Structure 1
Amino acid sequence: MTAPDLDPPSAQPARTTRFARLRAATDRVPTRWFAGIGTAVFLAATAAFGGLQAVAVSEVPRLSAGEQHVNERVALTVQRAVLLDTFPEAGATADPEQGERVLALLIDAENRWDRAEMVLADGGVASTVGVEALESAAPTSVARYDDASRNPWLQPLVPVSLVFTWVVPGELFADGEEIEVVLSDQTLSTGSFVVDGDYWSDPRPAAVVTVAIEDRGDGS
């Protein structure tokens, strides 16, 4: 099944326009910004699906933006990092009076499991993506890149481009600054008592992607 678009039809043109601007802007990011260095960090997960495990820095592979990380659950490719004044069309509204802005990551994803998954569900795919500077806080929102539908379902073996967004302090990031995106692997478990059925748990940092931020202001 495909997640419905929960916004009223009248909001669709605005979302489409903003996403079109973001696509045009990110297409111009210089490839020389893509570096392969980073620092391993911890990735938070819900208490119901287990705790965190430390991974030595030397054990975590480094990837450049545009390089794919693949595990049994999902394939992820971090493509771009963009800083915007606000991005309500993607579900992230910043308050300028509070000095807030929005960090957006463009990530290509492919569900490699045998069933559809919601990105932002407990223990969902979003729990495997973290930003070190944000102490791996959960994203404010995740939306499809093509139609701006929020918290979409990922169908098995169907590639999709996603926009992960965080509302952040305005002074935290700057144009051209490199950030480290941590991608974690999880273990497939089968519940027999408190949790029923199969679920992914025990996230462990498995790759670090370094990507440079492009400050696009209002997205124009």
Structure 2
Amino acid sequence: MNAVPPAAPTRARVPVWARRTFDMIPTPWLITGGTGALLAFTAAFGGLDTVPAPPAPELAVGDEFTGSDLSITVVGVEITDTRRGSGVFPDQDKGERVLTIFVDVTNEYSRPRPVSTSLTHSPVVDGITVEGLSTGKPSIARADDSTSAVVLQPDVTAPLIVSWTVPGDAVRAGDEVRITLPDSTRVVGESVVRGEFWTDVVVGARVTAHVHEGVAPE
């Protein structure tokens, strides 16, 4: 008796309306949806492997740091009762003093840039901070002529003073401080806002320096 071969499996029929609906979905949507599903699956099982960011370099006074299209060199750190031209006015009755960082800054970008943050830009020189001090944004002026609202010209080094008012017991001569210098990424705005911008601000470098007792210029 001849064996009867098994019947071939029948393929499930997809309704016509379903095929038409699938055909109407744009291909990029399908790719995006598939990518989203893959990311969701990956996240559920431990996420994507990320490469940790390298630590910010540790520098000393006189070392040059390049970031945010700027070259910044910390020249020295001073504590004094007053500093003419700094734009900082301590309350001496409260024992306040002026902490000043001297920096040489060169704009390595092709256009002039202000030293302070505008409404559409991330911190520039005003992103410099002193670790452990809640000082807020500094006052910035030229060290040679006390000009404020400084604009950095391309490829021209500007000697600047970066100053804060601090409590008299916060920083003393001989103390060691760590200064953070900002770094960021330059992007080009093409839709809502046009122009070049520096975003995603991070600590680009840390500078260890000793504070010196200063004599305010007459």
TM-score by length of structure 1 reads: 0.68
* Match of residue 188 from structure 2: 190
| Letter of the 1:175 counterpart | A
Distance in 2, matches of 1:83 and 1:92, equals 12
* Match of residue 202 from structure 1: 200
Asked if 1:125 is matched to 2:124, the reply is yes
Distance 1:194 1:70, change over 3 A: same
1:89-100, aligned counterparts within 5 Å? 89-100=85-96
- Bigger RCO of structures 1 and 2 (CA < 8 A, at least 6 apart): 1
Distance in 1, matches of 2:215 and 2:84, equals 14
| Letter of the 2:125 counterpart | A
Partner-residue secondary structure (3-state), 1:143: strand
Any conservation in 2 of the 1:75–1:109 contact (CA below 8 Å)? yes
* Match of residue 27 from structure 2: none
Distance in 1, matches of 2:125 and 2:183, equals 12
1:23-102, aligned counterparts within 5 Å? 59-71=55-67, 73-102=69-98
Distance in 2, matches of 1:128 and 1:72, equals 11
Identity of aligned residues (%): 32
Which of the numbers 163, 166, 182 marks the counterpart of 1:165?
A: 163
Which structure would you say has the larger Rg?
A: 2
Distance in 2, matches of 1:127 and 1:81, equals 16
Partner-residue secondary structure (3-state), 1:69: strand
Distance 1:68 1:95, change over 3 A: same
Give unmatched runs, 5+ long, in structure 2. Answer: 1-51
Give the Å deviation of 1:136.
Answer: 6.5
The RMSD of aligned alpha carbons is 2.0
Distance in 1, matches of 2:178 and 2:69, equals 22
Give the Å deviation of 1:215.
Answer: 1.8
TM-score by length of structure 2 reads: 0.69
Give the Å deviation of 1:93.
Answer: 0.8
Give unmatched runs, 5+ long, in structure 1. Answer: 1-54
Any conservation in 1 of the 2:135–2:164 contact (CA below 8 Å)? no
Distance in 1, matches of 2:107 and 2:194, equals 21
Give the Å deviation of 1:120.
Answer: 1.3
